Structure 1
């Protein structure tokens, strides 16, 4: 079941080549169950903000300005971007990072080539009126053999064995925006359905 709560997310996209910095709190977000909070999210100095709205499904809450998560933390829907991709998702050293080119295709290719994850072939897609590529990444089957805090790209981590990340990599006015619907192998079917419904409800402005 879905409720008419609307999540307003302010996502700051990182321009290619920007220096890393820590987020600062201050954007506007509406969480589940109809409650509304006001927050602000500023990531890096050279950014173009992108607004997005979506209908938050029952059982999900906004825990930050850029994502919602189920109560059991088994299902996640986030908006993010990536300048760097882990060459091997099981390794965390800085020298393991690869910097793809600026296009949607460049990022998709880097993710497909990533070691320790399995990927579908990217498919052309239109989401919320923007062109892009869709692919699914499945994480390592045993995180116990990985370094601590394994990840896909930039700050996007891998938290359970065989984690699935359904990625829509979009060209939003020349910037890459990733819509990430993620779940684990034990995530209930109704939560996975809710993720799909929220993605379909997404509007980007």
Structure 2
């Protein structure tokens, strides 16, 4: 994901589902039968502000066609969906990835691509060996019964940044100088970082036989409340059982 995320200017209106009854006859509610719940809205291509509530994400549609299960995620007020793989709120964001290769150096990255292996352990072992990232010790984690590993790492706070990129880092012709982590399969192509001091919280999960990465970042100016919402949203994830 390139550039600092922004908050959408308008929020999606909620679809209100109401029951009705014939005058003089008992309603369904009076009979004790519950009204059917509306299906969660699917987050698709484009940017849309989200009302608080539960939404459906379909990783297989954006992460290279891997057979990931769909997932349900519940967000509080103020969040935006981008193209079905990003949830963001200004200074914090949650991204889904199917990681392909890992850059062996995040700044002098040209030609350093490394295979990410096949398993959760393969990928995490490769990531925590990358220099300049100050990773925490990976710990076992579980999200809705899917197990994996969790760790945090960051962009150095003292690395030069000119407002558009990292001038001491590598760049492709005509593009900004980037600080990077990995390449992805599907729509999200390269994990670019946005500024010094950015912190990533990374869940690497075995999602029904497919390795799924949840990368939740916060900018240095993010508040404790915004960071807490990251964890609340990830904790809310429920994988859809077909």
Describe the superposition over 1:3-42 as per-residue Cα deviations: whole angstroms up to 9, x where unpaired. xx867458xxxxxxxxxxxxxx59xx98512699999944
Structure 2 CA distance for partners of 1:115 and 1:129, relative to 1, 3 Å: same
Aligned residues: 181
Following superposition, the deviation at residue 87 of structure 1 comes to 0.6
Q: Given that residues 204 and 213 in structure 2 are in contact (C-alpha distance below 8 angstroms), is that contact kept between their aligned partners in structure 1?
A: yes
TM-score normalised by structure 2 residue count: 0.66
* Unpaired segments ≥5 residues, structure 1: 11-24
Following superposition, the deviation at residue 146 of structure 1 comes to 2.6
* Bigger Cα Rg: 2
Q: Given that residues 117 and 123 in structure 2 are in contact (C-alpha distance below 8 angstroms), is that contact kept between their aligned partners in structure 1?
A: yes
* Unpaired segments ≥5 residues, structure 2: 1-13, 15-39, 162-167, 171-176, 184-189
Aligned residue runs from structure 1 range 155-174, under 5 A = 155-174=190-209
Residue 81 of structure 1 is matched in structure 2 by: 98
Check if 1:149 corresponds to 2:184.
no
Give the Cα–Cα distance (whole angstroms) in 1 for the partners of residues 41 and 150 of structure 2: 23
Aligned residue runs from structure 1 range 43-192, under 5 A = 43-44=63-64, 47-70=66-89, 72=90, 74-93=91-110, 95-141=111-157, 142-144=159-161, 145-147=168-170, 148-154=177-183, 155-192=190-227
Residue 99 of structure 2: SS of its match in structure 1? coil
TM-score normalised by structure 1 residue count: 0.77
